[in-house]
Structure 1
C-alpha cells in the first residue's frame, strides 16, 4: 500500500490464491481454534488484496466463504462469540453495498483506453508553467462517524486510492473464470507465471499513504517523511475527508467586529515578525504599533477566537486528533495539491497566501453537501459528494438527479460518457491555452492524475452552480484556490451547453437553471426522469 507497486499486490494475490486453491486449511480448521483464527485472518487479508486490485468476482466469492466460516466457527466453538469477525463480515457487506456495480461501470483508475494518453495532453506555454510537476506521493485520510469502511480503508479513501492508479493491462489482470474446488474452495484458471506480472508499458503509480484516524503527530510525521523524500519535480497530494468545526469569534456584546475563521488564521500567521537576533514582535501588541489605529481597534474588539479544524477522532480527545490549516503551512515549502472534503473546508482558504515557499493548489468541497442517493441514505453511506465527482463524475451526476444503476440504459450511459469525456478534453485545452492561467495550475496540468482531478472539479462546480436546488447558494458550491480563469466559469455558454446536453440525455433539463442565451433542447418540458 505504501509503495503502490502493482507487482507487490500481484505477487500477494498469487500467494494467497495458491493457499486457497490448495486448501491448506482443509484439515483440522474446525478442531483447532487457533487454526480457525488463522484461516479467518487469511481470508480478510486476501479480501483486502482483491479489493485494491479490483478483482470483484473473487471479492464476492471470498465474502461468501468468510460468512460460512464465521457461522461454522460460532457453531463449533460455542465458548467464543466471534463478535469481531461478525463485525468484519458486516463491514465488507456494507462496503460492497455502497460501492455498487454502477459506481464501477468504468474503471476508477486511469485507463489508457478511456482517458487521454499522457503523450497527447496539451502543453502549457513555458512562460506560464515555470515548472512541470509530477504527482509522486499522496497522503489519503478519511474519518466520519459511522462511515462505510473495510478494516482501515474507508469508502472515500478507497475511491481516491483507485483513482491514483494506472488501470493495468498486463496478462495477470485479465479476467479469469472461476471454478469451485473441493468443499466449495475457490479456484481460478491458472496464471502463466512465465509472463511478467507487472505491466512494463505503464509508468509507476504514485506512492500513497492511507491513514485512518491519524493522530496529529502521526500525520505530521508521515508528511515530513514524504516531503523529505519528494524529488525536485514532485508534488504531494494531500486528501483529507472529515467532519470539522469552522471556528468562531467572541466579541463584547453590542459592539466590535469579528473576523471569519479564514481571516483569523491569516492574521495569526502574519501577526509576528521574527528578527535576525531571535527576538519577535507582534503587530497586534498595541494599537500604537499599527499604522491604522481604527483597524487595530477592530482587532482588539475580538477578545478571543479559535480557528476551525478537521476532526479525525472523538471530540473528547481534544486537539490530538484535530488537523488545523496551520498544521499544513510548514510543508508548503514543497508543492502541495490539497483536497479538503469537509463541512469546514472554508477554513483552509487561509493556507492560500500564507505558504512558506511554494504556493499550494486547493480544491475545497462545499460547506453544505446536497443529499444524494436514496432518501434514507446518509451522506456517508454512499460517500462524500465532491469525492464522488472527482473519482466517478458521471455517476455523481446521476446520483444527484436520483438516478441509480437500475434506472439507466447502457446505451444512454455510454452516450453520456462520450459527451462528458469530450467536454473535459475541451476544458483542458481551454486551460492550457488561457493567457491568465495561474502558474499554480499551469505547473500541474502536465500530470494526468492531477489534471483529471482539476477538470472533474470544474465539472462538479458547473453542475452544482446550475442545479436548481443549489442555484445561487454559495454554501453548496465547491471552491478552488487560486482562482481559475473566467473562461472556465460555470456560467459560460460552453459549460452550460455541456450540462444541458447531459441533462437532456437523462430527461432532467428542468432540474437546472440556464440563461436565455443557451439553446435548450426541444424536450425541455418533458420533466424529470422518474
Structure 2
C-alpha cells in the first residue's frame, strides 16, 4: 500500500510539473488577437483537466501522502485563469462563467482560507486568487460575491501585515482601496435595482422582433466584430486595469440571453435543510456544471481588447 501511495504521489507531482510548464508558455500571451497560440491553450487545458481528474480519483491517497488543500485550490485557480483568458480573447460568456464556477468553488471550500498556512508564498497565492475572483465577479455582475470577497481580501491583507511584518503589503492595500472606490462609484452597487448594461432577456425584447433591427441584419451590410476599449485619463476609477468606463462599455457590447448575469439575492446552499460545509477534503468540482450559454439566434459578442494607457506600439499591435 505504501508503494502504491508513492506511485500515486509521484505521478501527481509529475502531472503538476508538466501542467505548470505548459501554463508558463501561455501565461504572458496578450489577451487580444485572433486565435493567437490557440493550439498552446488547448494543450494547457488538456494538461490541467488530466491533472484535475487524477487528483479527484486519487484524493484519499494524495491527502495521506501530504497533499495540502491550498495545492488543490491552486490547480482550480489555474483552470479558472485559463477560462478567463479565453473569455478575454473570445468574449464568449461561457468561458467567463466557467472561470467563476472554479473560483467560487475555491472560496466555498476554503482551499486557501482553511489551511491557516504561515507560508508567505501561499498567502500571496491567496491574495492573487481574491484579486482574480473579484475581476471575474465584477464582469459577471455578482455584486454580493464581490462584497464578500472584498471583506475577505481586507481581512487577509490585515492578517498578512500582522504576521509578516518584514514584508511590505502596500500594493495590496492599494488593491483594496481600488475595489472599494470602484464599488462606491458604480451604480450596480449603489443602486441594487439598476438594470444591467448588457442586453438581457429579462428586460429587452429579442432583436428580431424590432423591425428596423431585423431589416438591418437581414441586409448584412455591416457586422460589429471587434472593439478596442481604452482610456488615457489620469486618476480614473478603476480596478486593476479595468476602468469604470471600460467596464460599462464592455457590458454594453455583450448579449446576455438567459438573464443569468442579472444580480440576484444569493441564498445559502443547503442540503436537507443543513448548510453545506465544503471544508472537508472530499469536495469535488463538477467540470460540466455550466452548459454552453450561447444562443444561436443572437449575434456573437464582438471581441474586445481592453487597454489601459497603451503606448503607440501597443495600440498598433492590437
Partners of 2:308 and 2:210 in 1: how far apart? 34
- Give the deviation of 1:2 after TM superposition: 2.5
Match of 1:177 among 267, 273, 282: 267
Mapping of 1:34-45 within 5 angstroms?
A: 34-45=121-132
Question: Is the CA contact (8 Å cut-off) linking 1:172 and 1:197 kept in structure 2?
Answer: no
In the other structure, the counterpart of 2:163 is 76
Q: Deviation string for 1:159-208 (max 9, x for gaps)?
A: 00011112341669784424688799xxxxx9995662524354421111
* Residue 107 (structure 2) aligns with: 20
* 1:210 counterpart = 2:292: no
Matching residue of 2:242: 153
Secondary structure at 2:138's aligned position in 1?
helix
User: Quick one: distance in 1 between partners of 2:249 and 2:153?
Assistant: 27
Q: Which position in structure 2 is the counterpart of 1:367?
A: none
Closer, same or farther: CA 114–91 of 1 in aligned 2, 3 Å: same
Partner of 1:348: none
State the partner residue of 1:162. Answer: 251
TM-score using structure 1 length = 0.37
Separation in 1, partners of 2:214, 2:184: 46
Cα distance per residue 1:91-113 (max 9 Å; x no partner): 00000000033386111111234
- Which position in structure 2 is the counterpart of 1:144? 233
Q: Which residue matches 1:467?
A: none
* Unaligned ranges ≥5, structure 1: 185-189, 223-530
Deviations, residues 5-41 of structure 1 (Å, cap 9, x unaligned): 1111111111111211221113554410000000000
Conserved 8 A contact 1:2-1:207: yes
- Identify the residue that residue 294 of structure 1 maps to in structure 2: none
Q: Which residue is equivalent to 1:85?
A: 172
Give 1:469-480 correspondences, 5 Å limit.
Answer: none
1:196 to 291, 294, 300: 291
Partner of 1:255: none
Aligned-partner Cα distance in 2 for 1:125–1:91 = 42
Tell me how far apart the structure 2 counterparts of residues 157 and 28 of structure 1 sit (CA, whole Å).
37
In 2 relative to 1, CA 191–165 (structure 1 residues): closer, same or farther, beyond 3 Å?
farther
Distance in 2 of aligned mates of 1:137 and 1:183: 41
Rg (Cα) greater in structure = 1
Task: Give the 5 Å matches for 1:105-504.
Answer: 105-123=194-212, 132-169=221-258, 175=264, 176-178=266-268, 193=288, 196-200=291-295, 202-222=298-318
- 8 Å contact kept, 2:201–2:258: no
Are residue 6 (structure 1) and residue 96 (structure 2) matched? no
Greater strand fraction, Structure 1 or Structure 2: 1
Which protein is richer in helix relative to its size? 2
Which stretches of structure 1, 4 residues or longer, exceed 3 Å deviation after superposition?
26-30, 123-126, 170-176, 178-184, 190-195, 199-203
CA RMSD of aligned residues (A): 3.3
Quick check: 1:141–1:212 contact (8 Å CA) kept in 2? Answer: yes
Q: Residues 307-358 of structure 1, C-alpha deviation per residue, up to 9 Å, x if partnerless?
A: xxxxxxxxxxxxxxxxxxxxxxxxxxxxxxxxxxxxxxxxxxxxxxxxxxxx
For structure 2, the 5+ residue unaligned runs are 1-87, 270-274, 280-284
Tell me the CA shift for residue 123 of structure 1.
3.3
Deviation at 1:155, TM superposition (A): 0.5
Q: Matches of 1:125 and 1:75 in 2, distance apart?
A: 60
Q: Is the 8 A contact 1:138 1:208 kept in 2?
A: yes
Q: How many residue pairs align between the two structures?
A: 216
SS of residue paired to 2:255:
coil
Work out the CA distance in 2 between the residues paired with 1:74 and 1:213.
31
Q: Relative contact order (alpha carbons < 8 A, sep ≥ 6): 1 or 2 greater?
A: 2
Distance 1:67 1:125 in 2: 49
- After superposition, the C-alpha distances for 1:228-262 in whole angstroms (9 at most, x for unaligned) are xxxxxxxxxxxxxxxxxxxxxxxxxxxxxxxxxxx
User: In the alignment, is the contact (CA less than 8 A) between 1:92 and 1:150 conserved in 2?
Assistant: yes
Paired residue secondary structure (1:217): helix
Q: Name whichever of 202-211 and 42-51 sits farther off.
A: 202-211
**What secondary structure does 2:212 align onto?**
coil
Mapped partners of 1:217, 1:19: distance in 2: 38
